[in-house]
Amino acid sequence: MTRKESIENAQRKVIQMKKHLKNVVDSSNDSEINYYTSLVMGLAGHPLLVHDLFGPSVILSNSNESQLKNWLPKVQNSEIIVAYAQTELGHGTNLKMLETTATYDPNIEQFEIHSPTITSTKFWPGNLGISANYVILQAQLFTLGKCYGPHLFIVQIRDLETHKALPGIRIGDIGPKFECNLMDNGYLSFDHVRIPRTHMLMKHCQVLNDGTYIKPKHTKLGYSTMVEVRAFLLEKNAMHIAQACTIAIRYSCIRRQGKIDPTKDIEAKILEYQTQQFRIFPHLARAFAYLATGRRIIDFSRNVLKDIRSGRLGLINELHAISSGLKAVITFNTSLAIEQCRLACGGHGYSLASGLPQLYAIVVAGCTYEGENLVMLLQMARYLMKKERTRIELKQDVNIFDELLDNDFCEIDASYKESLDMFKALANRKITDVYDRLEILKKQGKKEEYAWNECAVDLCRASRAYCRNFIAHIFVQYVNQIQEPALRHLLEEILKMFLNFEITECSADLIEIGYMNGQKLVKVRNELNEVLPFHQKYLGTLKNKKLEHSKL
């Protein structure tokens, strides 16, 4: 098929899938819907993915009551197909510098949407290239001669009958990508296109008939949509690691190579080699840790967004910060995990038949969409520096993201506490060191922006260290909540592997701050090596029928 034929075929499939959905799954269960969709459409996305993922949530989070009544049913019933148009050729993550303008004219009570430059062209929005007939648009709001920054507008871009571009609209598909080619990413520019005043989404801020601007209660409310998607990404990436590990482990159980015991006639399964276990199993442990973290953040984000929809600001700052850092850390480590699983399958991992090349190409995109990873780490770092300043000024400890951590959990054993103390101490040290360096540079006369840039690498390291600490705490709590003894025993083995692996990953930093020495490091590595063949205990448990496979 040509690219256009492939997308049209995917459109046909997804429409039939949605019609059949209510007959086969619980439509209120996101996990069932996602699994069902993956069976029908595969991993590469589809021409309604952004509409389904973004449309209802953006409308719910940003529309006033009359807009909700008008737009939400149309989006939910797919009467209109929406794309989310934010990223431009010139800017993506940096919303403040977006160039598309929405200028209000109080004489006719309309906004004029315009793309003043080539770099203001919207570029990359999913489902925009061929499928969408409306966009939820991020544009700089101008009213009464003043710019109020980026705001959301709903704009029709194609005729609902002919599907042709409306006057003043230049639109098309950006072409093939590394992967996800059933997703029709597109470009879009406007030539003085007019829309009614009521097409600005006005839940949090308003432009009145006369052009008066009513500002939002909180500057971060515009980030609520991106935060919700980042929370979803965490769980999704955990499942992608699990998929890759499943492929690599199954291959390793079948493929035989060489002999560990020269007296045996048959070659050894490659899963019996410690090197193969070390290549795969720590990433499997990360999959469980990231799954626990993703579910916690999804629950947290739903509560925060529910508060926002009820007019309460809640913990939007905390959610924005931690979701930014976790998105960066987890998407990057997911890409590394899948590459290691590909290598673990030898030459066969390079074949498309393994499923790993496609999975890698899909996952690696997550390092840049919904916020480029280094930018996300720096966004989290700004929050960490703000909290550190508060701690110093108040001369007391400030528990960062304490609302997300149940600090009253029971310890499984002392070794877990020791590991958690290491991660916490390292995170605190990274934060205080880079904060002190920033202050020294500013006292030397450096402007804050220049001082920040000179500390950017260490700021990213501080964010990574805190994310490792956060994930480890969440995973320990997650395992503690497991009631079924055999399952808990298995997850405890995986938890030990995760903690020891993460300690080895940051061992140089732990040695630097005095929390680790050569002797302790050898002990940690030995413990990691001991727990690597955990699958042998698992198989023994299955044989004893103490744990049904379905419980995982």
Which phi and psi angles does 267 have, rounded to 5°? -70, 155
Cβ count within 10 A of residue 380? 26
Residue written as token pair 């991993």 = 43
* Contact of 91 with 97, CB cutoff 8 Å: yes
Q: Could you tell me where the DSSP H helices lie in 192-273?
A: 224-254
Identify the active-site residue in 370, 388, 492, 502: 370
Q: What is residue 112's three-state secondary structure?
A: strand
Three-class HEC string of 40-89: HHCCCCCCCHHHHHHHHHHHHHHCCHHHHHHHHHHHHCCCCCEEEECCEC
* Contact of 531 with 496, CB cutoff 8 Å: yes
Residue type, position 7, single letter:
I
Helices (H) and strands (E) in the chain, counts: 16, 11
Instruction: Based on the residue annotation, tell me whether 370 is a catalytic residue of this protein.
Output: yes
Which phi and psi angles does 271 have, rounded to 5°? -70, -15
**Strand pairing class (82-85; 146-156):** unpaired
**Nearest of 71, 83, 98 to residue 172 by alpha carbon:** 83
Structure tokens belonging to residue 379: 């966004």
Structure tokens belonging to residue 105: 């004219």
87 annotated as a binding-site residue: yes
Residue written as token pair 């190409």 = 361
504 annotated as a binding-site residue: no
Which phi and psi angles does 473 have, rounded to 5°? -60, -45
Residue written as token pair 């699990």 = 242
Q: How far apart are CA 235 and CA 243, in angstroms?
A: 13
The set of catalytic residues is 370
Residue ranges for the binding site for FAD? Answer: 87, 126
Residue ranges for the binding site? Answer: 87, 126
